[in-house]
């Protein structure tokens, strides 16, 4: 079984930073995810030439690929689905504060103190080793 403290720490980090990651992705896309026309407009004979001209970046990035990427970003960031997924990720495995509490409950404070004591070369007078606690091999 992996260290529960590490598992909980990853869960806390993901749930506490997900909304920031989504906001950064929105900033990178800019207003294009809300102003890009739908697929039907890209196929309309009257608007298609203009959209092809202004949405194509180069020979590798044609208008249709750019439209699909922006539609994908919109679906992941600004849709009803995106809001549902954000709420699901925040609360499906218990709320973020409960995950944070689990990190503190499962963290091995004795091992951390032992590593600091050993790394700093401190004597046992600072933190006497108590019977029953783990001792690392010297």
pLDDT at position 137, please? 40
Task: Please write the tens of the pLDDT for every residue from 23-32.
Answer: 999 999 888 9
Token reading at 75:
């679906």
Instruction: Residue 137: name the closest of 124, 113, 123, 118 by CA.
Output: 118
Q: What are 97-104's contacts with CB under 8 Å, separation 24+?
A: 99/8, 99/11, 99/12, 99/15, 100/12, 100/16, 102/4, 102/8, 103/5, 103/8, 103/9, 103/12
> Which DSSP state fits 102?
H
- Domains for the chain: give ranges and CATH numbers: 4-107 (1.20.140.10), 108-138 (no CATH)
Which among 41-45, 78-82, 91-95, 120-124 has the top mean pLDDT?
41-45
């Amino acid at each position: 079984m992996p260290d529960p403290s590490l598992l909980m720490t990853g869960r806390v980090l993901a749930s506490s930073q997900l909304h920031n990651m989504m906001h950064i992705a929105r900033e990178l896309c800019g207003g294009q995810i809300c102003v890009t026309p739908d697929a039907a407009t890209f196929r309309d004979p009257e608007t298609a030439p203009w959209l092809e001209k202004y949405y194509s970046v180069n020979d590798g990035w044609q208008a249709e690929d750019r439209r699909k990427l922006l539609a994908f970003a919109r679906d992941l960031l600004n849709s009803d689905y995106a809001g549902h997924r954000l709420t699901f990720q925040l609360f499906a495995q218990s709320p973020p504060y409960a995950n944070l509490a689990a990190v503190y409950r499962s963290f091995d404070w004795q091992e951390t103190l032992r590593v600091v004591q050993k790394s700093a070369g401190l004597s046992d007078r600072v933190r006497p080793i108590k019977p029953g606690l783990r001792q690392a091999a010297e």
